[in-house]
Chain A
Amino acid sequence: MKTAGYSLIEVMVVAGIVAIGLAAAASMINSLMFQEEINAGAVRAANLQEQAVMLHRLGLSDTQIRALLPEVCGTNATPARDTFSITFSASTATNMTVGSGTNAWTIGLDFTTCTLIYASPSPATNATPYRTNTVGILRPAIR
């Protein structure tokens, strides 16, 4: 009794299609893993910058802030892959006018900018993409 079955060619075609699909899936998963690492790093970077700003408001120096942050942060403008750089500009006295006319009043504030640079963990064959975020920080002159 002769039974139905697949020819060798059919099996090879299917195997080829499955192999291509698996290869594509593997590549996508690899990309997704990289993307996930980048996302996680970006979230860490945003949190680091916010913490750095808060510590600056408390009056800590740049060096102290970098020492206290939970991640190793340098000052290099081109940090290594998957690392961070946080720098502060020198504080400047900033006057702002509140109200107008006879009710105008000048308030003095310290103004600083905090710049964070995050180098994503992209594949070694790619140029390291940097994400830079700069925020302005005001704190009372009277603290």
Chain B
Amino acid sequence: MVFALLLLVVGALILGGVAQLTATQAVVGEGEWDSARRRITVENSRAMARQYWRTRMFLGSAPPSASLTNADGLGGFNLTPAITNGYWITVSETNVNARLNINPFTPMERGGFYRVWITGTLWDGSTNAGGNAGWNMQIRTRSPIAAGFCFVRQRPSVADVGELADPPYIDFQQSQRFFGYEGMPLMPVSSVTNTNAGDTNGFGGYLDVPVGASAFSVFTNVTFQPRVTNVDMQVVVDLGGWNFSTSTNPVARYDVPPTRLYTNATNGVLNLPVRTVILRGSLLGGFFDSVPVHVVVDTNNTNVQTLILSNNNTRRVYFNLMRPAGFPATPAFNVASVNSTFWRLGITVSKSAIQFQVGSLDIQGGLRTDAGTSFQAGTAFFSPETDPQGLDFIGDRMMWLEDNRAL
């Protein structure tokens, strides 16, 4: 009898244990839902923080601390960059102990990569403050675009030196030129001398204005060289009439065909020796007016020699000109304007000199070239393109954002 009762007790205990194990599994299962939801919320918070910095990191000066209090199921974040005198505190890559009080993206401060650390907190959607995650974001770059420099002269490869334009440095015909970004102290180009400093081949790397600098200390030996304009302006391509409504691509790419016969729209006369591109902006209106246009003149199309900016344009236009190796440096590629005061335009010119002859023209976007640049007439004001999506076309790729869990 006793043995039978003992057997029943043991059986009951075993059954009770099985029931308890199953109940525990149920609790673990329910906890998995909550854990997954919190992880998703943290990732939402990370997405918000990354988007915030991607839209602010290109502006040249340190964005303020940012907080998005939205501690519900979608998350939120709080980020605080270290700032001194309006500039991000950066850390030298070669000396991690050095905290440099400079614009971290200033290419004038040569010597390698710089890093900006931004500490912050990502929310996991819980009202429990202890559930939030400390987070570090890190921006690394050597991009002058990131510093707000919209006028960039890229150092060419050694092999290309002999093919570059003449003169192989930036010269200015007039003294009243200004470069910089919004909020940057304007810098008269008259104080610029040449770009030969620092490189015996005449390629000083970037022509830029250090943030807050009062003088171009690296430039000496002023040279203002007049140029001869030998390009006759003619109408070739009018992108204003291009039907974007059939395009689902967020960026409309237009490859200027090398075999196209360029017709003078004014009088219908063929002008084979003279090649001109006209982009008319703000003609379509509405949504399609905001569709970026990417115009590519590749190495096969050496006949295109001039870009005429007609009227004003608020559409993002990115113009890429690529010359083949060995292409004559002169005449330089021309940028001219007709009745224009404002153009949203990014220009990248490869292996070709470029010369401007414009009126009083504001260009939002900038210029990047590996060859000579000259200004023949008028006054050009450059300001940076602040749309990060647009920067894909005019900025280089040497900038990235990393983030990681704070230790």
A42→B47 contact, CB < 8 A: no
Chain B proximity of A111: nearest CB distance (Å):
8
Q: From residue 18 to 49 of chain A, which have CB atoms closer than 8 A to chain B?
A: 18, 21, 25, 28-29, 32, 35-36, 39-40, 42-43, 46-47, 49
CB-CB < 8 A to B74: which residues of A? Answer: 136, 138
A8 at the A/B interface (Cβ < 8 Å)? no
B19 at the A/B interface (Cβ < 8 Å)? yes
From DSSP, what is the main secondary structure of chain A's interface residues? Answer: helix
B47→A43 contact, CB < 8 A: no
A109→B47 contact, CB < 8 A: yes
CB-CB < 8 A to B389: which residues of A? Answer: 142
Determine the distance from Cα of A135 to Cα of B64 in the docked complex, in whole angstroms.
31
B84 at the A/B interface (Cβ < 8 Å)? no
> What sequence of 0s and 1s flags, for each residue 100-124 of chain A, a beta carbon within 8 Å of any chain B beta carbon?
0001010111000000000000000
CB-CB < 8 A to B294: which residues of A? Answer: none
CB-CB < 8 A to B402: which residues of A? Answer: none
User: Number of A-B pairs whose CB atoms are under 8 Å?
Assistant: 100
B327 at the A/B interface (Cβ < 8 Å)? no
Determine the distance from Cα of A97 to Cα of B70 in the docked complex, in whole angstroms.
11
A70 at the A/B interface (Cβ < 8 Å)? no
Known: A99-B67, A137-B44, A138-B48. A42 touches B11 (CB 8 A): no
B25 at the A/B interface (Cβ < 8 Å)? yes
B15 at the A/B interface (Cβ < 8 Å)? yes
Determine the distance from Cα of A25 to Cα of B19 in the docked complex, in whole angstroms.
10
A28→B19 contact, CB < 8 A: yes
A42→B40 contact, CB < 8 A: no
Chain A residues with CB under 8 Å of chain B are: 14, 18, 21, 25, 28-29, 32, 35-36, 39-40, 42-43, 46-47, 49-50, 53-54, 57, 96-99, 103, 105, 107-109, 133, 135-142
